[in-house]
Amino acid sequence: MDFSNRLIPLLLIVFLVVSCSKKPHNISENSDELKIDSLIQRMTLEEKIGMIHASSAFTSGGVPRLGIPELIMSDGPHGVRFEHGRDWARDMDVDDSVTYLPTGICLASTWNTELGYQYGAVLGSEAKHRGKDVILGPGVNIIRSPLCGRNFEYLSEDPFLTSRMAVGYIKGVQDQGIAACVKHFAANNQEENRSGINVVVSEQALREIYFPAFEASVREANVLTVMGAYNKINGLYCTQNPWLLNQVLKEEWGFKGLLMSDWGAVHNTREALLSGTDIEMGTDLLQMPNIDYNKFYLADSAIAMVKRGEVPVSVVDDKVRRILRVMFSIRLFGNRTPGEANTKEHQQLALKVAEEGIVLLKNQQILPLNIAKAKKILVVGENATRKHAHGGGSSQVSTKYEITPLEGIKNLVGNEAAISYQQGYEITRENTVNKKLSDDAVAAAKNADVVIFVGGWIHNFNPAEWGIDAYDSEGIDKKNTQLMYGQDKLIRALAEVNNNVVVTFFGGGPVDMAPWLLQVKAVVQAWYPGMEGGTALANILFGKTNPSGKLPMTFAKKLEDNPSHSIGEYPGKSMEVNYAEGIFVGYRYFDTYQVEPEFCFGHGLSYTTFEYSDFMVETSDNTVSLSFNITNSGKIPGAEVAQVYVANKEASVKRPSKELKWFTKVMLEPNETTTVELELPKEAFMFYQETKKQWVLEPGEFEILLGSSSRDIRLSQTVEM
Ligand code: GLC
């Protein structure tokens, strides 16, 4: 019995366990590099290759001989997904219920980076509890069109807001000793033809709009993993694009972690090996039902290619090194602190994010509802009782409970008012109107003091079926932004018989409001507010919580007003989509081209008012110090999101009329004043010059705009740079 080949690995495991059981630390610590070197030296080529592709639905290969475990991943961005086990069949006898957090766009609407961190911490702790090493989130793709089916999972149309929220979230996850996975890199802004569409986009738009959140995730949050997107960029698949992965992500940004493909996003062995994809995931989806992990692109054919000398083994070693770095960073070899799930604290965080993410769009002196006057409350709409956790695609979760709006309203004021419910409309594949439901709701509205309509979008018609209907779901985009099932007509009819209609929407983006907006007293955007969403909505409607959410995207008056539908293409044709609008995405377009939105980026009302004063600026060697006061000039406590935009007044090229470069959220008691001081770095005044392929700061005049939204500018100053 030759003990040497057993003794060494055993010693190695002991050595690794002893040396790694400390708190999570930044990637590529020198001590780890030495351990990684020794591991790689011991590996056979087959063992190395086994690590760079999937070994099951949500794991990549380990090396048992050397004590290297598989890397275990799980979706999703707002909760740890169902327990899929190794072959996609849901494992029904595992309690996989988790905290169902509000989805990404609701988190972004809080504009509260501290909440972003706490949100990530809950996710990381629950992923640990479920035995995962990597949580596949956040999704940070820019909201380019309101039709993208996954906007509900993403954050914003603005790269700065997206970056700030992503950095907090990732730090929260990774401080739990779990790897985050920022996705989908890059320019994956539609679901239509996502697996093959070629995005034609300028480098300037990539650098200024589509890259920043990924760059911040790497440079500021030290994100441990990145997911390569399905689509092509300028002709090359993202997972086979050496400029995108080797040059930009790894060389320029200094990314030391691993780049995994999206599931089934690798299409060529040589291209993926040489372009910087470190782990091929999900190709089994394309093999179903005859799954053979050796037939992955980065499996047997990769071994053969290396053996033929067509690809140097050093290329494979770098991938293995990156995977081991992530494993050491999350202390996979040490004993990790235990996680926890479904705790009261986690559920309270879900409530807080929902309360701060719900946006009050319109309020004609009706909200908060006065329970002394609103004695007979009629709740109308399918979304008042529908649950959403299971829908949406890979971000689906199973949760212990989900408070619907009707439940939330009953829990809050059920013993002070008579609350009745009418479904009002029916969700059908044929998008039909149910006249009886509508007539019954209108009849009931005649006798109500106030009508609370809860409508909007849903996820999949049937959670098990993705990409079949035009809803907020992975795999499919919406056909338009019109309300379905006759909701428009119903809202108008309700408003004709009742003067106090409050409209609240679920959904990942705007709906056309023109048909009824002038007839209703209030409009509230609730997004998908998670398991405590109904509680949060009720707290806001009845004033227990003062709303503070702000739109992270522009709500256009009509679809064709969006630049992706007027200047650019959406969803493109013959597998190609041209981002002809360039950097003029969202408010950068609406403001510069003077197109009036229904509700603008950064808009959100409060039950109190805020005054801005004493705005001062001071420049010193290309940085600008600002200070200003905010006062709560109303009668109740509230939180205000102060936004700072920069306008380049003398640029040599066409620039957006304003760009968000800073924000902060402050909580103020009535009559309380706080002084905000900040420094804008020189980067806030730079733009990417495509001809020079670099960021430039052109001397000249800049305007600094301080506001409560992108169009509610309260004070401004000009500076010379
Ligand atoms: C999906 C999604 C990605 C998800 C992955 C695993 O296709 O695009 O966001 O994390 O596959 O489910």
Question: From CA 287, how far away is CA 264, in angstroms rounded?
Answer: 10
Gap from CA of 264 to ligand 1 centroid (Å):
9
Using the predicted structure, report yes or no on whether residue 22 has a pLDDT greater than 50.
no
Which atom of ligand 1 lies at the shortest distance from residue 194's CA? Answer: 8
Return the CATH fold of 610-720: Immunoglobulin-like (2.60.40)
Question: From CA 18, how far away is CA 25, in angstroms rounded?
Answer: 15
Which atom of ligand 1 lies at the shortest distance from residue 394's CA? Answer: 12
Residue nearest to atom 5 of ligand 1 (CA): 263
Residue predicted with more confidence, 482 or 469: 482
CA distances from 246 to 99, 249, 272, 398 (A): 37, 6, 11, 37
Gap from CA of 394 to ligand 1 centroid (Å):
6
Gap from CA of 262 to ligand 1 centroid (Å):
6
When pLDDT is cut at 50, 70 and 90, the band that residue 85 belongs to is confident
In contact, 149 and 481? CB cutoff 8 Å: no
pLDDT digits (tens, 9 = 90+) for 634-669: 999 999 999 999 999 999 999 999 999 999 999 999
Nearest one of 470, 696, 688 to 583, comparing CA atoms: 688
Using most ligand atoms within 8 A of CB, pick from 262, 279, 474, 477 the residue to mutate for ligand 1: 262
In contact, 240 and 276? CB cutoff 8 Å: no
Q: Which CATH superfamily includes the segment(s) 344-551?
A: Glycoside hydrolase family 3 C-terminal domain (3.40.50.1700)
pLDDT digits (tens, 9 = 90+) for 470-507: 689 999 999 999 999 999 999 999 999 999 999 999 99
Residue nearest to atom 12 of ligand 1 (CA): 394
In the predicted model, what is the mean pLDDT of residues 197-210?
A: 98
Pocket of ligand 1 (CB under 6 A): 75, 136, 183, 262-263, 394
CA 198 to centroid of chain Cα atoms: 22
The pLDDT score that the predictor gives to residue 326 is 97
Q: Which CATH number is associated with domain 68-329?
A: 3.20.20.300
Gap from CA of 137 to ligand 1 centroid (Å):
10
Using most ligand atoms within 8 A of CB, pick from 136, 182, 190 the residue to mutate for ligand 1: 136
Question: From CA 577, how far away is CA 580, in angstroms rounded?
Answer: 9
Asked which of 43-47, 221-225, 459-463, 693-697 is least confident by mean pLDDT, the reply is: 459-463
pLDDT digits (tens, 9 = 90+) for 505-523: 999 999 999 999 999 999 9
Gap from CA of 58 to ligand 1 centroid (Å):
10
Nearest one of 451, 517, 524 to 488, comparing CA atoms: 517
Question: From CA 388, how far away is CA 407, in angstroms rounded?
Answer: 14
Using the predicted structure, report yes or no on whether residue 15 has a pLDDT greater than 50.
no
Gap from CA of 281 to ligand 1 centroid (Å):
10
When pLDDT is cut at 50, 70 and 90, the band that residue 1 belongs to is very low
Using most ligand atoms within 8 A of CB, pick from 58, 140, 193, 263 the residue to mutate for ligand 1: 263
How many alpha carbons fall within 13 Å on the CB side of residue 488? 12
Count of residues in the chain: 721
Using most ligand atoms within 8 A of CB, pick from 80, 141, 185, 474 the residue to mutate for ligand 1: 474
CA distances from 605 to 108, 520, 549, 610, 708 (A): 16, 16, 8, 10, 9
In contact, 491 and 515? CB cutoff 8 Å: yes
* DSSP string covering 448-490: -SEEEEEEE--S-SSTTS-SSSSSSBTTB--S-S---TTHHHH
Q: Is 569 exposed, middle or buried (0-12, 13-18, 19+ CB in 10 A)?
A: middle
**Three-state SS string across 232-263, please?**
EECCEEHHHCHHHHHHHHHHHCCCCCEEEECC
Which atom of ligand 1 lies at the shortest distance from residue 137's CA? Answer: 10
Listed by start position, the domains of the chain span 68-329, 344-551, 610-720
Nearest one of 600, 638, 624, 627 to 706, comparing CA atoms: 627
The pLDDT score that the predictor gives to residue 187 is 98
In contact, 447 and 376? CB cutoff 8 Å: yes
Tell me whether the CATH fold assigned to 68-329 matches the one assigned to 610-720.
no
Question: From CA 360, how far away is CA 28, in angstroms rounded?
Answer: 45
The pLDDT score that the predictor gives to residue 2 is 41
Gap from CA of 151 to ligand 1 centroid (Å):
14
Question: From CA 227, how far away is CA 181, in angstroms rounded?
Answer: 6
Question: From CA 349, how far away is CA 100, in angstroms rounded?
Answer: 10
Question: From CA 591, how far away is CA 584, in angstroms rounded?
Answer: 9
Q: List for the chain the helix, strand, coil content (%; round to 5).
A: 30, 20, 45
Using the predicted structure, report yes or no on whether residue 211 has a pLDDT greater than 90.
yes
In the predicted model, what is the mean pLDDT of residues 351-380?
A: 98
In the predicted model, what is the mean pLDDT of residues 91-96?
A: 91
Using the predicted structure, report yes or no on whether residue 10 has a pLDDT greater than 80.
no
Using the predicted structure, report yes or no on whether residue 454 has a pLDDT greater than 90.
yes
Gap from CA of 265 to ligand 1 centroid (Å):
10
Q: Which residue is listed with tokens 């950097």?
A: 583
Question: From CA 143, how far away is CA 145, in angstroms rounded?
Answer: 6
Residue nearest to atom 7 of ligand 1 (CA): 263
When pLDDT is cut at 50, 70 and 90, the band that residue 462 belongs to is confident
Using the predicted structure, report yes or no on whether residue 8 has a pLDDT greater than 80.
no
pLDDT digits (tens, 9 = 90+) for 133-146: 999 999 999 999 99
DSSP state of 70: P
Question: From CA 97, how far away is CA 79, in angstroms rounded?
Answer: 9
The pLDDT score that the predictor gives to residue 145 is 98
Which atom of ligand 1 lies at the shortest distance from residue 139's CA? Answer: 9
Which atom of ligand 1 lies at the shortest distance from residue 184's CA? Answer: 9
SS3 of residue 331 by DSSP: coil
The pLDDT score that the predictor gives to residue 26 is 62
When pLDDT is cut at 50, 70 and 90, the band that residue 468 belongs to is low
Residue nearest to atom 8 of ligand 1 (CA): 262
In the predicted model, what is the mean pLDDT of residues 663-690?
A: 97
Of all residues in the chain, what percent carry a pLDDT higher than 90? 91
In contact, 508 and 105? CB cutoff 8 Å: yes
Residue nearest to atom 4 of ligand 1 (CA): 394
Mean pLDDT (the chain, rounded)? 95
When pLDDT is cut at 50, 70 and 90, the band that residue 695 belongs to is very high
Nearest one of 609, 497, 605, 538 to 369, comparing CA atoms: 538
Residue nearest to atom 9 of ligand 1 (CA): 394
Question: From CA 470, how far away is CA 484, in angstroms rounded?
Answer: 10
Gap from CA of 230 to ligand 1 centroid (Å):
10
pLDDT digits (tens, 9 = 90+) for 287-318: 999 999 999 999 999 999 999 999 999 999 99
Nearest one of 660, 546, 527 to 600, comparing CA atoms: 660
pTM (predicted TM-score): 0.96
Gap from CA of 268 to ligand 1 centroid (Å):
19
In the predicted model, what is the mean pLDDT of residues 322-328?
A: 97
Nearest one of 147, 610, 144, 541 to 155, comparing CA atoms: 144
Question: From CA 245, how far away is CA 265, in angstroms rounded?
Answer: 14
- Positions annotated as catalytic residues are 262
